[in-house]
Every structure is written in C-alpha cells, then in structure tokens.
Amino acid sequence: MKTGLIFGLAAILLLVGSLHFTLAFETEQEPEPPQIPEPTPEPEPIRMPDPQPTPDPFPEETESVKIQRLTEENNKLKQQNTNLQEQILTLKNEKSKLQTEISEQNNVIQNLKEVTMEQIRVIMELVNRLKDVLFEKISSSTINL
C-alpha cells in the first residue's frame, strides 16, 4: 500500500507539473493577428425594365373616325370656352354693379352721419339753452325771496 500511495503521489505531482508546464506554454504564445476579411463583391446594379410601347388608345378606329371624333371634342371644348368667357363677362358686370351699389350705400351712410351729427349739435344747443333758462329761473326765484 505504501508503494501504491507513493506511486499515486508521484503520478499526481508529475501531472500537476506537466499541467503547469502546458498552461505556461499556452499563455506564452503570442496571439495571431486576426485575418483580414476578403472584400465582398459589389452587387450588380438594378437595371430599369425596358419600356413597353404605349398601346393605341383607340385601336379599332380608322383615321377618318379619329379625325371626326377629335373634331367633335374640339368643338365641345370651344363651346365650353365660349360659355366660360360669357360667364366671366357676366361676373365682371355684376361686380361693377355691386361696386357702384356699395359706393352709393357708402354715400348714403356718410349723408346719414352728417345729418345725425347736425341733429346732435341742435340737441346740444337746445340742452344748453334749457340749462340756461332753468338756471335763470332758479337764480331769479332765489333772488326774489
């Protein structure tokens, strides 16, 4: 048993020493520099799709039918244009009428203001006369006593 114990202790010492030597060897190594990553290739640019030719809006029309249809549309647009011009003229006339009415109303208001101010002046003059008459009556009655 002694020999087994001595042999076990020697084995443990030998393992601990070699373990210590192994750990020291690993820590003394210098780390390798990190590897430089390779550049990723650039993606291919996205290409615009080829434009489709615009389809004919009226594929079954002949040239004469197209001309007739476009002439009708043109005539309708001309009629709309003349209608709009007439409406604009009408609105301009109405605007001028309203402006003259407004100016007439302003004149009437101004005249009414002047009449009102004159009435106020007359009333103030009458009040002053009444005050004078009352003052004279009161003062004359006190003097007569």
pLDDT digits (tens, 9 = 90+) for 13-55: 767 666 665 665 555 556 677 777 777 777 787 877 777 777 7
pTM for the predicted model, two decimal places: 0.40
More confident residue, 11 or 111: 111
Whole-number pLDDT of residue 29: 59
- DSSP, collapsed to helix, strand or coil, labels residue 40 as coil
List the end-to-end C-alpha distance of the chain, in Å, as a whole number.
Answer: 161
More confident residue, 119 or 139: 119
Mind giving me the DSSP string for 94-134?
A: HHHHHHHHHHHHHHHHHHHHHHHHHHHHHHHHHHHHHHHHH
